[in-house]
Structure 1
């Protein structure tokens, strides 16, 4: 009897446990609070069409067709939120996400969020979060990261954060990936607590940091610190050793005496400084015998006269003073005048020359066609340009104001412009730009242009003069955009004759530039890089109905498109032809003459970011193994999957 009772008990016990497990699984896999939480979070977002499948019609995690942007575990619980590149704006309601107890990673990269950093610190169990390439700004509170002890990956790059790097961030011990480049963080780098060998990614470049690099970061790649001109110590240049008190006293005494003697000497030297400087420039530029160089020589002589005349008047008479927007690069006007001068060229705006000063070479660009802008407007705009900080923008160092002419001072980039690498005749055996390098360049150009679009939302054409000669290349062939955001300053009639934006189809038809005008200029640049052909109409003043280059590419595609459209310097490309075709499509969609049909800058940047050096699509595998195959294969419009309109 007892045996039957025990047997019945065991049977019911296991049946009860089975029912309990099934109910627990059902409860966990279809938790209604997750759907409600996510829908509440979505309600705070704007332009959220990418999240249209977030509805009560299906559970967030259903094993086959999860809601967009969700990462789900094997129990169908949400552990990750990836909302990158969805065009989102509005408020990131972190409080609404607190009910997602299993949430470990959040990404809102490449959207249009702004304001202070969202309160992700309330999600104390996060392992990673990605806020890159939005418009977040302001200082991050010192204690922001307290309690976020599980954090391993933090990406804040490409925003506008200011202030010091919080010490609570440096105190986290599990961080292995940190990217804060392209912001405006200032002050000293804090001492990070984690093992120096644990770093996988660490980048603080292109901020305003200063001081000695902490020992825990000294084994990092030097590129991780670029663009912070006041950082020093390994792996960068050594810091200047501090003076002992006695040496400091002696130095101050010596300097004081030297200053007194210098002032006395200057009274005599000033009388002859002007004539000597003109002679120096004449001697330096005398080696140039062509007409253009002689014009620049005369302009340089006149420019030096203006410099000295205004310097003696203390900067009066409507200008005459060198104003620094980067305080870490400071030199006297007199030093700039006495520096050896090398003429770089004379363009539609004026002459440019390279000056060698003690702190390094700089380029001085003279603009005569800015005399219709008021002084206060010019200063305000220049200061705004000086605050820009992005790895793909050539930073402004200083400017010089006179009513008749303006000077902009930039760092000298020794590797020259993209135009010189594409079009200048090379020595025999010297290689041209390969596909991988061109792809890297166009990605950098797109990122720089996207930054300008975000930084100047009220400016219809944030660049205005985007062309290959205004894309400079550093020693690693990373692109730096030059002559950007100048349309508000250039005399209107001169701008319409020479600036690239005014050669667009919309200006030809309506005499207006639009938000997509810079996209058109980017498209022409893409076609120029892929074909190796120079847009000849850029050399002709006045407006044109369309760029000859875009018209040529369109006509070739309509007739019998072949891979011969690509620059022969890329002929040896292997397994990249499909990606080259994709970039060609992007370029042509950027050059669409119908503005309504032309891609928006966000879509263009997203498409370019998705490009790879090598093909992954099976569509191209049949001919990707042969490096020369693309030069003979005929491609139809169906291969490109887009329409071409005249």
Structure 2
């Protein structure tokens, strides 16, 4: 956009909001930037450039090639001045807006104009005054952070909130929290019982939110379809993102197969990651990571090696459905760090031929020798099932192994359920959730047939290892590692080893997979993030104990995710599935169903 065009745009904005109807997303963002002060950190936002293709700072776009903006993360940028919310109403697919840790002042801007917004973070600014009681009346927000501002009073009465009132909010007195039967703590003179909540996870309305110093335990206090989640600080949600391997820390890998040099920069200001091939890494200010680097795709001679005795310095392709490629192709690829798990790090690499893959880098995976490892990984490479993610290639070194699989754009089930991926309530309805659970069961049935000689055919079943295709068909990953990793690695990194029998007496059997399946079922039905996933045990919800209390009180319907509980004609089916999930997570293994029986009972449930 030319200088004259930009001036005309500003004139248009000053005269009539109607002119916004024809504004592009780039123009809307430029007008948004213009309304703020100290916007030097947004120098990459330039006229005649594209927010998505040119990687504007803090702008995140969809991953399916549509080139639309879905998130603005403008934290810790020293921004101040006026926030012209009206300009970004033109970004129709905007799901997340983060302006935390800046220096904005005055009344809370009309963020409620952004009708499609799912997450709003404005903590650690200097907003003040009152928030109107109907501010969130028409909102579909699921997450909001307002802490560390200068609001002047607090009224959370007349809602259906749950959990313990934090000590920092006790000063507001009992009247601020009245008519919330699920709350406990000093102000309401009700003792809190650890691990058990008395209220359901239901719709919330905020009356007035003013004078909040720290809002930690009572998160997501919103209206209409807004729920109380169990996260207890913004950093805790960061932990969830790392577990899910979906919140991208952008990184670009430079160099060739010999040097493996890389540069990294976290969007949140930290460094991380490194080269896909295990080369050196260094911090830099590079932020442009997801555009494809141009160059010739490596030939079969320079790339993959198909033979069993291929050199240890290259990739061994075991599934050629995405063509042949080698380590050099990965080293030339643009890459992103997806996350660090107990078994290793995960990277997304976009190769020059346009194929996107995930590279899992696993250290000290030396339970098997090279030939045995080759035999096991090739066995898995022959798997073909719509609910199974089959590896494409591997790289073997004693110090580390690389396992390459196809990248699934929609992301993990964990992040679809708990993160911000722009998933609408209508999409994640009861039939879709049942379809996901049935697909998981179908994938497990296949694994149990193909790996019948394994004590743990999967071993690491959890929502972060279940990816969703474009039509919400679940795809299981991270299976079949049971024989490849040491007992110590398995205990540290595989979720089946968190089952009660494994923790208490180091017993391992297929009932561990049944336990994992039960956790996933309870997570999908309640919408709660399971505390069982976190090594610290802090955060999330103990879904096993929580659902067990629901069954004991015969209040199962109250413990379902409100987004599906409204489907009243399916409550009986949901309750049956909830009870199955509880049965799969029984402490005593002989009280759990077998995997065969659990799958059969899932197949019998109709949407």
CA contact (8 A) 2:277 2:331 kept: no
The Cα of 1:548 is off from its aligned counterpart by 2.7
CA contact (8 A) 2:583 2:593 kept: yes
Q: Distance in 1 between matches of 2:480 and 2:423?
A: 38
What aligned pairs does 1:167-566 form with structure 2 within 5 A after superposition?
Answer: 273=256, 278=261, 281-282=262-263, 285-286=264-265, 288-291=267-270, 294-297=271-274, 302=279, 319-328=312-321, 329-357=323-351, 358=353, 360-425=355-420, 431=426, 433-540=428-535, 548-566=542-560
Q: Distance in 1 between matches of 2:277 and 2:405?
A: 17
**Equivalent residue in structure 1 for 2:563, among 562, 565, 569:** 569
Q: Distance in 1 between matches of 2:444 and 2:341?
A: 23
Q: Which residue is equivalent to 2:96?
A: none
Q: Distance in 1 between matches of 2:424 and 2:430?
A: 18
- In structure 2, relative to structure 1, the CA distance for the partners of 1:532 and 1:432 (3 Å cut) is farther
Q: Distance in 2 between matches of 1:379 and 1:469?
A: 26
CA contact (8 A) 1:421 1:432 kept: no
Q: Distance in 2 between matches of 1:437 and 1:612?
A: 12
- In structure 2, relative to structure 1, the CA distance for the partners of 1:389 and 1:303 (3 Å cut) is farther
Q: Distance in 2 between matches of 1:488 and 1:301?
A: 24
Q: Distance in 2 between matches of 1:384 and 1:429?
A: 39
CA contact (8 A) 1:416 1:472 kept: yes
Q: Secondary structure of the equivalent of 1:302?
A: coil
Q: Distance in 2 between matches of 1:576 and 1:295?
A: 46
Aligned residues: 327
Q: Secondary structure of the equivalent of 2:439?
A: helix
Q: Secondary structure of the equivalent of 1:297?
A: coil
CA contact (8 A) 2:260 2:279 kept: no
Q: Secondary structure of the equivalent of 2:567?
A: coil
**Equivalent residue in structure 1 for 2:605, among 607, 611, 625:** 611
Q: Distance in 2 between matches of 1:288 and 1:473?
A: 25
- In structure 2, relative to structure 1, the CA distance for the partners of 1:456 and 1:588 (3 Å cut) is same
The Cα of 1:488 is off from its aligned counterpart by 1.1
Q: Which runs of 5+ in 2 are unaligned?
A: 1-254, 283-301
Q: Distance in 2 between matches of 1:391 and 1:554?
A: 33
Q: Distance in 2 between matches of 1:502 and 1:584?
A: 23
Residue deviations 1:278-298, cap 9 Å, x none?
2xx31xx3354554xx33137
Q: Distance in 1 between matches of 2:510 and 2:425?
A: 40
- In structure 2, relative to structure 1, the CA distance for the partners of 1:491 and 1:303 (3 Å cut) is farther
- In structure 2, relative to structure 1, the CA distance for the partners of 1:576 and 1:356 (3 Å cut) is same
CA contact (8 A) 1:497 1:541 kept: no
Q: Distance in 1 between matches of 2:552 and 2:457?
A: 33
CA contact (8 A) 1:437 1:477 kept: yes
Q: Distance in 2 between matches of 1:582 and 1:539?
A: 27
Q: Distance in 1 between matches of 2:328 and 2:317?
A: 14
Q: Distance in 2 between matches of 1:433 and 1:333?
A: 38
CA contact (8 A) 2:316 2:394 kept: yes
Residue deviations 1:330-350, cap 9 Å, x none?
113212210111222222222
CA contact (8 A) 2:342 2:492 kept: no
Q: Distance in 2 between matches of 1:422 and 1:537?
A: 16
The Cα of 1:396 is off from its aligned counterpart by 1.0
- In structure 2, relative to structure 1, the CA distance for the partners of 1:273 and 1:410 (3 Å cut) is closer
CA contact (8 A) 2:266 2:272 kept: no
Residue deviations 1:589-637, cap 9 Å, x none?
2112221121111111111111111xxxxxxxxxxxxxxxxxxxxxxxx
- In structure 2, relative to structure 1, the CA distance for the partners of 1:606 and 1:344 (3 Å cut) is same
The Cα of 1:390 is off from its aligned counterpart by 1.1
- In structure 2, relative to structure 1, the CA distance for the partners of 1:520 and 1:469 (3 Å cut) is same
The Cα of 1:391 is off from its aligned counterpart by 1.1
CA contact (8 A) 1:471 1:482 kept: yes
Whether 1:591 aligns to 2:585 is: yes
Residue deviations 1:498-536, cap 9 Å, x none?
311111121123211112211111011101111111111
CA contact (8 A) 2:364 2:398 kept: no
Q: Which residue is equivalent to 1:142?
A: none
Which 10-residue stretch deviates more, 329-338 or 526-535?
329-338
Residue deviations 1:83-124, cap 9 Å, x none?
xxxxxxxxxxxxxxxxxxxxxxxxxxxxxxxxxxxxxxxxxx
The Cα of 1:588 is off from its aligned counterpart by 1.4
Q: Distance in 1 between matches of 2:348 and 2:457?
A: 27
Q: Secondary structure of the equivalent of 2:569?
A: coil
Q: Secondary structure of the equivalent of 1:576?
A: helix
Q: Which runs of 5+ in 1 are unaligned?
A: 1-271, 306-310, 614-646
- In structure 2, relative to structure 1, the CA distance for the partners of 1:493 and 1:403 (3 Å cut) is same
Q: Distance in 1 between matches of 2:280 and 2:369?
A: 21
- In structure 2, relative to structure 1, the CA distance for the partners of 1:275 and 1:590 (3 Å cut) is closer
CA contact (8 A) 2:461 2:516 kept: yes
- In structure 2, relative to structure 1, the CA distance for the partners of 1:520 and 1:354 (3 Å cut) is same
More contact order relative to length (CA 8 Å, sep ≥ 6) = 2
Q: Distance in 1 between matches of 2:342 and 2:426?
A: 31
Task: Output the TM-score relative to the length of structure 2.
Answer: 0.50
Q: Distance in 1 between matches of 2:511 and 2:424?
A: 40
- In structure 2, relative to structure 1, the CA distance for the partners of 1:527 and 1:303 (3 Å cut) is farther
Q: Secondary structure of the equivalent of 2:428?
A: coil
Q: Which residue is equivalent to 1:196?
A: none
Root-mean-square deviation (Å): 3.0
Q: Secondary structure of the equivalent of 1:575?
A: helix
CA contact (8 A) 1:498 1:541 kept: no
